[in-house]
Amino acid sequence: MLRRAWKPIAATTVLIGTPSYLYYTFKNRQQTFDLAVRVRGADGKAMLSTRTFSLLSKGAVDERLKEHATSESSPRPGGIVWKHTTAALAANDPYEDAHSNTIIARDASDPSAPGDLLFFAVMDGHGGPHTSRLLSKTLINAVVLELSSFIKGPGSGSGLVKNVKSLFQSPRADPIAVAADPVAISTVIQGAFTKLDQELLNAPLTLLAANLDDAAIKKNMLPDLSQHPMALATMLPAISGSCALLAVIDTAHRNLYVACAGDSRAVAGVWEETPDGKGTWRVETLSEDQTGRNPNELKRIQSEHPANEAMDVIRAGRVLGGLEPSRAFGDAWYKWSRDVQEVLSQAFLVGNKQPLRPPPQTFKTPPYVTATPVVTHRKLSLPPLDNALTSKSSSAVRFIVLATDGLWDQLSSEEVVALVGGHFAGLKGDIPKSSLSKLVSTTVGAPTVEGKDKDRSKKEDGSWAFVDDNISSHLIRNAFGGGDVPSLRRLLSIPAPVARSYRDDTTVTVIWWEDGREEEAKATAFSSEVKAKL
* DSSP state letters, 335-366: TS-HHHHHHHIIIIIGGGT-PPPPPPTT--S-
Does residue 137 contact residue 100 with C-beta atoms inside 8 Å?
yes
Does residue 320 contact residue 367 with C-beta atoms inside 8 Å?
no
Which amino acid, one-letter code, is at 387? N
Pick from 89, 122, 54: nearest CA to 481: 89
d(CA 55, CA 259): 40
pLDDT at position 12 is 39
Does residue 54 contact residue 32 with C-beta atoms inside 8 Å?
yes
d(CA 377, CA 98): 24
pLDDT at position 229 is 96
**What is the Cα Rg of the chain in Å?**
27
Tell me the pLDDT of the chain (534 aa) as tens digits. 333 433 343 443 343 444 444 344 444 467 998 998 888 877 778 888 888 999 999 999 999 999 999 999 999 887 889 999 999 999 999 999 999 999 999 888 777 888 999 999 999 999 999 999 999 999 999 999 999 888 876 555 565 555 544 544 554 466 677 788 999 999 999 999 999 999 999 999 999 999 988 767 767 789 999 999 999 999 999 999 999 999 999 999 999 999 999 999 999 999 998 888 788 999 999 999 999 999 999 999 999 999 999 999 999 999 999 999 999 999 999 999 999 999 999 999 999 999 999 999 999 999 999 999 999 999 998 866 544 434 455 667 899 999 999 999 999 999 999 999 999 999 999 999 999 999 999 999 888 888 888 766 666 789 999 999 999 999 999 999 999 999 999 999 999 999 999 999 999 999 999 875 555 544 333 333 322 322
pLDDT at position 397 is 83
Residues forming beta bridges with residue 102, ordered by sequence position: 119
Helix, strand or coil, per DSSP, at residue 384: coil
Does residue 46 contact residue 38 with C-beta atoms inside 8 Å?
yes
| pTM confidence score | 0.87
d(CA 308, CA 105): 51
pLDDT at position 25 is 43
d(CA 363, CA 325): 17
Pick from 326, 330, 323, 81: nearest CA to 202: 330
Which amino acid, one-letter code, is at 304? E
d(CA 256, CA 376): 8
